[in-house]
Amino acid sequence: MIPPGSTIGILGGGQLGRMIALAAAPLGYRCHIFCPDDEAPAADVAATWTRAPYDNLAALDAFAAAIDVATVEFENVPAAALERIAAAKPMRPGANVLAVTQDRLAEKALATRLGIATAPYFAVSSAIEAGITARHLTGGAILKTRRMGYDGKGQIAIAAATPDAVVEAWRKLGEVPCILEGFVDFALEISVIIARGPDGQIAAFEPFENRHAHHILAESRWPAAIGPEIVTRAEAVARSLAQALDHVGVMAVEMFVTAGGEVLMNEIAPRVHNSGHLTIEAAATSQFAQHVRAICGLPLGSTERRADAVMRNLVGDAVLEWPKLLLDAGSHLHLYGKSEIRQGRKMGHVTRLFPLGAMT
């Protein structure tokens, strides 16, 4: 157990780190941010900020010496940095988890080994491979870079997966290792957010229903419009993945639900997740407080839903609605303190609560 009064090191300085730090304070923890960026919303609410590149070994060593446990707020921290810190202090989740979740093909391969259904997928590392794999698909597909893609970046939708179309898309993505996924005709997308402690204790939130605009999460609804059988199967998928990875902390698993009730794993996020922001107001324990509990070895909190809820991301200019949102007594506004408004940039979110059962 990492007791209250200790310092949590957070690799990454974005809004997820900011909300982890805010949740850590009531439990008696200080937070130390490690982030190379000029602006770090997480650092605004943390005790200490080390601003250095992730390959600065001296800075990593000093950071590790100053903290009691380390975590990540985004999954693309270089593995070498995680391993360097793990040699000195508990790193939760570990570098082994990030090694899988940083690679879309490795994620899908893990799911396949565990007997978890996914969209059809194929590795694409050359023009020849692109042409050959296209012949295994009929209809549309999505070509994604294996690494570094998020919010629609690093991927191209292909209306008809012909060999020529897949080769052209692979070249547009920079001729890097990719994964080709067949289109899934899904009814809705859900995510399951699950927490796992160092002792293997697990607690899961009911699934969230997610709606996207321009490949960015626009809105999450709780509860999802799915039946209890699908809830059980979706939670079982998340539990199986968390246990197989020996994950410690909060983890989100994005899944598709087809019209026929099939549950297909899409992607894993080994961290707190955008879809779970509404747990701050709607759950007995927020995903952020749950993450702090999990990485520090504390008993996990209740995941009880205390209200139905809808969370909307404030992306780009939508953040300019903040004066109107503050006048709405039913709105819970969260602004991330980012200085520059850009198209596609998440500037904040707003959550509205409804009586239990109002959305079912």
Query: What is the CATH number for 51?
Result: 3.40.50.20
pLDDT reported for residue 138: 79
Examine the fold and report which residue of 182, 204, 223 is the final residue of a domain before the chain moves on. 182
- Residue entry with tokens 């157990």: 1
Query: What is the CATH number for 341?
Result: 3.30.470.20
350 and 251 within one domain: yes
pLDDT reported for residue 152: 60
Q: What is the pLDDT of residues 230-284, one digit of tens each?
A: 999 999 999 999 999 999 999 999 999 999 999 999 999 999 999 999 999 999 9
148 and 21 within one domain: no
Number of domains present in the structure of the chain: 3
The amino acid that residue 272 corresponds to is V
Q: Hey, which residues does 191 pair with through a beta bridge?
A: 208, 254
pLDDT reported for residue 151: 60
Q: What is the pTM of this model?
A: 0.94
Examine the fold and report which residue of 91, 111, 140 is the final residue of a domain before the chain moves on. 91
Examine the fold and report which residue of 162, 182, 202 is the final residue of a domain before the chain moves on. 182
- Residue entry with tokens 């694409």: 124
Residue 192 resides in a domain: yes
pLDDT of residue 214 exceeding 90, the answer is no
Residue 102 resides in a domain: no
176 and 238 within one domain: no
Residue 65 resides in a domain: yes
81 and 135 within one domain: no
The C-alpha atoms of residue 264 and residue 187 are separated, in whole angstroms, by 11
Angle at 351 between CA 350 and CA 355, to 5 degrees: 160
Q: Name the strand (E) or helix (H) holding 113.
A: helix 104-113
**DSSP states along 164-215:** HHHHHHHHHTTS--EEEEE---EEEEEEEEEEE-TT--EEEPPPEEEEEETT
Cβ count near 239 (within 10 Å): 16
Cα of first residue to Cα of last residue in the chain, in angstroms, is 39
Contact 193, 207 (CB under 8 A): no
Residue 97 resides in a domain: no
Residue 135 resides in a domain: yes
The C-alpha atoms of residue 154 and residue 147 are separated, in whole angstroms, by 8
Residue 106 resides in a domain: no
347 and 240 within one domain: yes
The C-alpha atoms of residue 360 and residue 356 are separated, in whole angstroms, by 9
231 and 315 within one domain: yes
150 and 23 within one domain: no
Percentage of the chain modeled with pLDDT above 90: 82
Query: What is the CATH number for 154?
Result: 3.30.1490.20
239 and 137 within one domain: no
Residue 53 structural domain: 7-91
Q: Comparing C-alpha atoms, which of 116, 80, 70 is closest to residue 243?
A: 116
Greater confidence (315 vs 173) lies with: 315
pLDDT reported for residue 83: 95
Q: What is the pLDDT of residues 121-165, one digit of tens each?
A: 999 888 888 888 888 887 788 899 998 766 667 888 888 878 888
Residue 112 resides in a domain: no
Q: In whole numbers, what is the pLDDT of the chain averaged over residues?
A: 94
The C-alpha atoms of residue 17 and residue 9 are separated, in whole angstroms, by 10
163 and 57 within one domain: no
Residue 224, sorted as left (phi over 0), alpha (psi -120 to 50) or beta, turns out to be beta
pLDDT reported for residue 312: 98
Residue 109 resides in a domain: no
